[in-house]
Amino acid sequence: MPLSRLIIKQFRNIEACDISPSSGFNFLIGANGSGKTSLLEAVYLLGHGRSFKSSITGRIIQHQCDELFVHGRLKNSQQFELPLGINKRRDGTTEVKISGESGQKLAELAKVLPLQLIHPEGFDLLTDGPKHRRAFIDWGVFHCEPQFYETWGRVKRLNKQRNALLKTASSYRELSYWDQELAKLAEMISRWREEYVAQLKEVAEPLCRDFLSEFDVSISFYQGWERGADYAQLLEKNFERDQHLGYTFSGPNKADLKIRVNGTPVEDILSRGQLKLLVCALRVAQGQHLTKLTEKQCIYLIDDFASELDSQRRARLADCLKETGAQVFVSSITESQIAEMNSENSKMFHVERGKIEPVE
Ligand SMILES: Nc1ncnc2c1ncn2[C@@H]1O[C@H](COP(=O)(O)OP(=O)(O)OP(=O)(O)O)[C@@H](O)[C@H]1O
Ligand SMILES: [Mg+2]
């Protein structure tokens, strides 16, 4: 569902903002430091409960203020409205409101406001460690499999407990009971992830080839341990090694999405612009797949749109996003850089020193 209203208070340099975005494209145009990324960051906070730039709440609350607010109103084509809000305070507390009810969980916000962020640092998805790619897979599994969030939470707790036990246990017998439970849930997580990647691959690989026509992009899933091996047996077999290391070496916490281009790891072969295009293709594919499977539409946040993409590639990305029919927020320093994206269902906003004004 698109945001039909967005209210931001005391968020970085945005003291107060109240806008009615288009359900299609929304262009944010302004000079360096004007507040474009901050607006995208505020929408991201509304869907994730945290910023994509800083993990410290104090950094995103406006200087000299004690708290920030972000409110949104989601509206679907049948005019059904869902109000959402998040309030963060300097003392570290967070309050989430959905449909007028306080005390809601962040996971509930994430469920109703699926977001895809494309920003200049975003290609760490491809070049950094597996953590980002695991988060990418889990975003999809979270939205498609209702039991995932709780099950993954239990796996993480069991894993933590196991790592603590490894330090004190004198024999494997002390772990075996817990390992049975851990293995059962880990296999479940792994099956969901594997199924998800298999489905996503059908959408993502053709889109990657479309964006990077000269390359053959392939995607595969690594579950975090040897394919076909029984995880419970593996935990027992590796007990001494894990004990020596002080943590569980193999498992769903090591899962990864292997992305190769012409059979080679992506960072060895692609330019920065090409890496960025690949990230765009993966994120657009993930949104398309979500809509296909659940009829949920995600909102795209695209920061610093023009950087490192030529005009032909910018136009291709814009066409692709238009086809999805999703709501998109795009930031850019000049209007000319977003010329290729203009469509009938769009609004433009000028951003200047934290003030966001619609352009008629
Ligand atoms: N907690 C805060 N309180 C007040 N102002 C802040 C806070 N944190 C950052 N700022 C300021 O807010 C401004 C917003 O920057 P933002 O990153 O949104 O700009 P931008 O329009 O995306 O610029 P660019 O085109 O350079 O990416 C900056 O000038 C920054 O110094
Ligand atoms: Mg910016």
Q: The domain that contains 161 carries what CATH number?
A: 1.20.1050.90
Please give the pLDDT value at position 341.
Answer: 80
Residue located nearest, by CA, to atom 19 of ligand 1: 33
Please give the pLDDT value at position 200.
Answer: 97
pLDDT in tens, 222-278: 999 999 999 999 999 999 999 999 999 999 999 999 999 998 989 889 998 899 999
Please give the pLDDT value at position 95.
Answer: 96
Both 94 and 210 in one domain: the answer is no
pLDDT in tens, 59-97: 999 999 999 999 999 998 788 999 999 999 999 999 999
pLDDT over 80 at 197, yes or no: yes
Q: Is 333 in the pocket of ligand 1 (CB under 6 A)?
A: yes
Query: Of the residues 255, 270, 296, which one is the last residue of a structural domain?
Result: 296
User: Could you tell me if 27 and 349 are in contact, meaning their C-beta atoms sit under 8 angstroms apart?
Assistant: yes
CA atoms within 13 A on the CB side of 70: 26
Where in the sequence is the domain holding 173, given as residue range(s)?
119-296
pLDDT over 80 at 354, yes or no: yes
Q: Which residues contact 165 (CB under 8 A, 6 or more apart)?
A: 174, 175, 178
Helical spans, DSSP H, in 212-335: 231-237, 239-245, 272-294, 311-324
How far is 110 from 148, CA to CA, in rounded Å?
A: 13
User: Could you tell me if 190 and 255 are in contact, meaning their C-beta atoms sit under 8 angstroms apart?
Assistant: yes
Residue located nearest, by CA, to atom 9 of ligand 1: 12
Both 292 and 310 in one domain: the answer is no
Q: Is 303 in the pocket of ligand 1 (CB under 6 A)?
A: no
Both 96 and 133 in one domain: the answer is no
| Numbered residues of the known binding site for ATP | 30-37
pLDDT in tens, 97-127: 999 999 999 999 999 999 999 998 888 899 9
Please give the pLDDT value at position 122.
Answer: 86
Both 341 and 326 in one domain: the answer is yes
Q: Is 13 in the pocket of ligand 1 (CB under 6 A)?
A: yes
| Residues making up the chain, counted from first to last | 360
Mean pLDDT of the region 185-198: 97
pLDDT in tens, 161-190: 999 999 999 999 999 999 999 999 999 999
Number of folded domains in the chain? 2
Query: Of the residues 254, 280, 296, which one is the last residue of a structural domain?
Result: 296
- CA 160 to ligand 2 center in whole angstroms: 37
Both 71 and 174 in one domain: the answer is no
- Residue environment code for 223-254, b if the CB has 16+ CB neighbours within 10 A, otherwise e: bbbeeeeebbebbeebbeebbeeeebebbbbe
pLDDT in tens, 295-345: 889 999 999 987 888 888 888 889 999 988 899 999 999 988 888 887 788
Q: Which residues contact 328 (CB under 8 A, 6 or more apart)?
A: 24, 25, 26, 299, 300, 302, 321
Please give the pLDDT value at position 121.
Answer: 84
- The ligand whose atoms approach the alpha carbon of 53 most closely is 1
Q: The domain that contains 102 carries what CATH number?
A: 3.40.50.300
